[in-house]
């Protein structure tokens, strides 16, 4: 039973860490949206507007992805909270977590690629 408690504690730690990171990224996207609105208000023309609209669309997509990942983390945490501590560890939670782990890894990679592109854009237009 002690092994299962440690195992579930580790899974819970990962999920809570991912949720904090996702909340941070969601808030960061809000900040980026504000900066895009600031650029839009300056009326630089199509050279600035076309990438700006692209970034706004990508932010909406990213925020939707963040919401889905947060929901998945929440569901996994609920599963952990309702786990039967007398049941043998069968790897089910670990396998489910593995998929989420890969999705988080992909999301984080894509987030930082978008962030780098946006920072380059901000350097040019702010």
What tens digit of pLDDT does each residue of 19-30 get?
999 999 999 999
pLDDT of residue 125: 93
What tens digit of pLDDT does each residue of 44-83 get?
888 999 999 999 999 999 999 999 999 999 999 998 888 7
Provide the residue ranges of all domains of the chain, joining segments of one domain with +. Answer: 2-125
Q: What is the pTM of this model?
A: 0.83
Tell me the CA distances in angstroms from 77 to 13, 49, 53, 58, 97, one per residue in order: 10, 42, 36, 28, 10
**In terms of C-beta distances under 8 Å and separation of at least 24 residues, what long-range contacts does 55-64 make, across chains too?**
55/114, 55/117, 55/118, 55/121, 58/114, 59/29, 59/32, 59/33, 62/25, 62/29, 62/110, 62/111, 62/114, 63/26, 63/29
pLDDT of residue 115: 97
| Cα dihedral 61, 66, 71, 73 sign | positive
Q: Are 31 and 119 in contact (CB under 8 A)?
A: no
């Amino acid at each position: 039973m002690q092994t299962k408690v440690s195992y579930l504690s580790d899974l819970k730690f990962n999920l809570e860490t991912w949720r904090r990171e996702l909340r941070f990224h969601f808030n960061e996207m809000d900040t980026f949206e504000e900066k895009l609105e600031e650029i839009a208000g300056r009326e630089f023309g199509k050279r600035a507007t076309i990438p700006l609209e692209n970034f706004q669309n990508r932010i909406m997509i990213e925020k939707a992805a963040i919401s889905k990942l947060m929901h998945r983390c929440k569901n996994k945490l609920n599963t952990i909270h309702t786990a039967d501590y007398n049941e043998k560890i069968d790897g089910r939670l670990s396998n489910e977590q593995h998929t989420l782990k890969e999705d988080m890894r992909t999301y984080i990679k894509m987030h930082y690629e978008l962030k780098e592109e946006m920072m380059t854009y901000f350097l040019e237009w702010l």
